[in-house]
A and B are shown apart, each in its own frame.
Chain A
Amino acid sequence: MTRFVVRRTLSAIALLFATSVVVFGIFEVIPSYNPARAIAGRNATQTTVQEVAHKFGFDKPFYVQYANTMKLIFTGQVIDYQDQLNVVDQFRQRFGATLSLVIPAGILWLLAAVLLGSISALRVGRMADRALMVLAILGVSIPIFLLAAVLLYLLAFKTTIFPNTGYVGISDPVQWAYHLILPWFCIAVLSVGFYSRVLRSNLLDMVNQDFVRTARAKGLSRRQVFVRHVLRNSLMPIITMFGLDFATLLGGAALVTEFVFNIPGVGQYEAQAIGNLDVPPILVGSLFTAFFVVLFGAAADVLYALLDPRIRLTG
């Protein structure tokens, strides 16, 4: 266990370092990118731009700039170029909205995927199975912003069943959920199809295994065999996939959804920062995402070991 933690921590640090260098480097090699001009404004004179560049240290060599920025990030003092706001504070304030969006959506899509995947595996070739196939292929063929826009048009504009975008804090749970139902649905529905298809094929591979026959032979009911043996063993690939997808969503991959539904989460902040080529928030956002990817990758491995005692944690 100690070995696992140490090795994972070391590889996490390596990944975070590589991520930060690459993100920083991308903006360094772009010829037309001039952050000093962006900060100084369009009408700034050449001298003002130079003063700004000097103040922010843009005239220093790459590695000095990189080291300074990383120091500012880890002391929590880094500010964005656009509005001169503290980036770490922004992430802290906005993370609640992202959690409100992503956690229920994640639960929804995982539960629905397990349910639908089981149903379609138990009813191979019937209507339910085919309907799921259609949903799965539609889910990977529709961009989420199109689905969101169409749903908003039909359900929030044509008929005012749902509110037209916006976000209400969790202190008012009813309004909070009411405003988030459509975004949850959009995130969940596009993933459910794919996840349940993967689960379905895992289940179908599993039912012909010897241990399933043994379990039946020793007298367990069909339901017990399915839940305790077949389903439990089929969940593993889903868990790894889910860990990665969920991690990137937490880190801001829900930016399109947050953008369309005007939810003030970290993704929306990242989208704005990217549009303005504002390096510090992009850098913090990438590190944030990479951190969750590593964390959930490790969590999935631990869960694997718990579900299957044959697997040892080796890192």
Chain B
Amino acid sequence: MALDPLIMPAGAREGEPIPPEAEFKEDYTPAIGPWKLALRRLRRNKVALAFLGLFVLILIVCLLAPVYSADIAHIGPDTTNVTGTVKVGGHVKDIVSPQGLPIGPTWTTHYLFGADTEGRDVAVRLLYGGRTSLEIGFLATAIIIVFGTLFGLLAGYFRGIVDAVLRPLMELIWSFPPVILGVAVGTALALGGIGPIKGNSLLIPSFIIGVIYIPYLGKPIRGEVLRLREQDFVEAARAQGMGPWRIMVSEILPNAASTIIVFIPMMLAYAILLEAYLSFLGAGVQPPNASWGTLISDGIQIIDTTPHLALVPGAMLVLAVLSINILGDGVRDALDPRAQVRIKT
């Protein structure tokens, strides 16, 4: 027997717009789980969705860097061309003037955003740099999420000796300003690398950024787990004879999941920003690799004569981080409209 449409929950019918009063009725509709509710709240946040779109666009464009380089700009990211010329609007212009000034944005397929002092294509380098920055960002975020969750779970669930080891460790990392700690370790490791990993590997900045921000997730998760482990459902699981690992994975972790999810976009934004800071101070991405941070940093040295060298990657970086932050705000509001989390840079 089909359900009477009148008693179906608001918004549950396919393709029907959600009535504005649905928000107040949500509590009384038994058919909707918390995750579905959160997703629905996020879908209603048009600003967050728009910026999610922007971020995905930036991501795709950066991943397509080799295609742009080979098929549109016809120049590699490290190809220098100091003596060459480029056609702009029918005029032939030097890519780098005899005085050493590179050409500004041409708005054509060649040198779309101009050249740098060595005649390299800024647009191509921007996309490759973005790939580097985003790779480091995602890798560092993965490290933070995996180890932050693990440390938080272990310290919060086992307490005692495990907590006595993990908590001071996290406190110690946490009490350093991230930029100072990152620059010190980054400079040191960039010189000689660790073991088989070379000094200019992208793994080094990813690893450093990941480690620095682990306590920012680990501490709140630990607090959450300390609270959850005293709840009745954990007690019930223990009474049923579940081991500690099973309780952690199947009872506590799902309940801490929304906190972890809130942290994902936030950590991604902070990781990308910290990479820029480290690269600016010479302790992040090392040549021949380039990232948005190193591009901005190179551009700032000569911002007076060629502002586009710093402004183009700067704008990209800010747009990417901004869109992640707005999306992150939306996710947080959707999961827990009253939550408050904070991070320092």
B180 with A255: CB separation less than 8 A: yes
Indicate whether A211 reaches chain B with its CB closer than 8 angstroms: no
B322 with A141: CB separation less than 8 A: yes
Indicate whether A305 reaches chain B with its CB closer than 8 angstroms: no
A146 with B187: CB separation less than 8 A: no
A198 with B281: CB separation less than 8 A: no
Indicate whether B37 reaches chain A with its CB closer than 8 angstroms: no
Closest-by-CB residue of A relative to B311 is A150
A23 with B180: CB separation less than 8 A: no
- The interface-forming segment of A24-32, A44-52, A81-89 is A24-32
A137 with B342: CB separation less than 8 A: no
- B179 contacts across to A, CB distance below 8 A: 253, 255-256
Q: How far is the CA of A43 from the CA of B160 in the complex (A)?
A: 54
A149 with B310: CB separation less than 8 A: yes
A252 with B180: CB separation less than 8 A: yes
- B329 contacts across to A, CB distance below 8 A: 137
Closest CB of chain A to B170's CB: distance in Å?
12
Indicate whether A293 reaches chain B with its CB closer than 8 angstroms: yes
Indicate whether A18 reaches chain B with its CB closer than 8 angstroms: yes
Chain B 67-104 interface mask (CB, 8 Å, partner A; 1/0)? 00000000000000000000000000000000000000
A145 with B300: CB separation less than 8 A: yes
A244 with B269: CB separation less than 8 A: no
- The interface-forming segment of A71-79, A97-105, A225-233, A274-282 is A274-282
> Could you say which of A146, A153, A255, A290 contacts B296, with CB atoms under 8 Å apart?
A146
- B171 contacts across to A, CB distance below 8 A: 15
A143 with B273: CB separation less than 8 A: yes
B277 with A256: CB separation less than 8 A: yes
Closest CB of chain B to A161's CB: distance in Å?
15
B303 with A18: CB separation less than 8 A: no
A146 with B314: CB separation less than 8 A: yes
The SS class assigned to the B binding surface is helix
> Could you say which of B192, B277, B283 contacts A33, with CB atoms under 8 Å apart?
B192
- B194 contacts across to A, CB distance below 8 A: 31
- B273 contacts across to A, CB distance below 8 A: 141, 143
A274 with B184: CB separation less than 8 A: yes
Chain A's interface size range is: 35 or more
Closest CB of chain B to A151's CB: distance in Å?
11
Q: How far is the CA of A15 from the CA of B322 in the complex (A)?
A: 35
Closest-by-CB residue of A relative to B173 is A22
- A141 contacts across to B, CB distance below 8 A: 269, 273, 318, 321-322, 325
> Could you say which of B187, B310, B318 contacts A277, with CB atoms under 8 Å apart?
B187
Q: How far is the CA of A22 from the CA of B172 in the complex (A)?
A: 9
Closest-by-CB residue of A relative to B273 is A143
Tell me which of A31, A146, A251 has the highest count of chain B C-beta atoms within 10 A of its own C-beta. Answer: A146
Q: Which of A20-64 contact B (CB under 8 A)?
A: 22-23, 26-27, 30-33
Closest-by-CB residue of A relative to B183 is A274
- B317 contacts across to A, CB distance below 8 A: 143, 146
- B303 contacts across to A, CB distance below 8 A: 149, 152-153, 157
A289 with B180: CB separation less than 8 A: yes
> Could you say which of A33, A145, A275 contacts B282, with CB atoms under 8 Å apart?
A275
Q: How far is the CA of A189 from the CA of B341 in the complex (A)?
A: 20
Chain A 144-185 interface mask (CB, 8 Å, partner B; 1/0)? 011001101100010000000000000000000000000000
Indicate whether B244 reaches chain A with its CB closer than 8 angstroms: no
B188 with A26: CB separation less than 8 A: yes
Indicate whether A127 reaches chain B with its CB closer than 8 angstroms: no
> Could you say which of A26, A248, A290 contacts B185, with CB atoms under 8 Å apart?
A26
A274 with B283: CB separation less than 8 A: yes
Indicate whether B53 reaches chain A with its CB closer than 8 angstroms: no
B280 with A19: CB separation less than 8 A: no
Q: Which residue numbers of B lie inside 8 Å of A, CB to CB?
A: 168, 171-172, 175-177, 179-180, 183-185, 187-189, 191-194, 199, 269, 273, 276-277, 280-283, 296-297, 300, 303-304, 307, 310-311, 314, 317-318, 321-322, 325-326, 329, 340, 342, 344-345
* Subset of 24 A-B contacts with CB under 8 Å: A19-B172, A19-B175, A26-B184, A26-B185, A30-B188, A32-B192, A32-B193, A33-B188, A33-B192, A140-B321, A143-B273, A146-B300, A149-B296, A150-B311, A153-B304, A157-B303, A253-B179, A256-B280, A259-B281, A260-B300, A271-B183, A275-B187, A286-B176, A286-B180
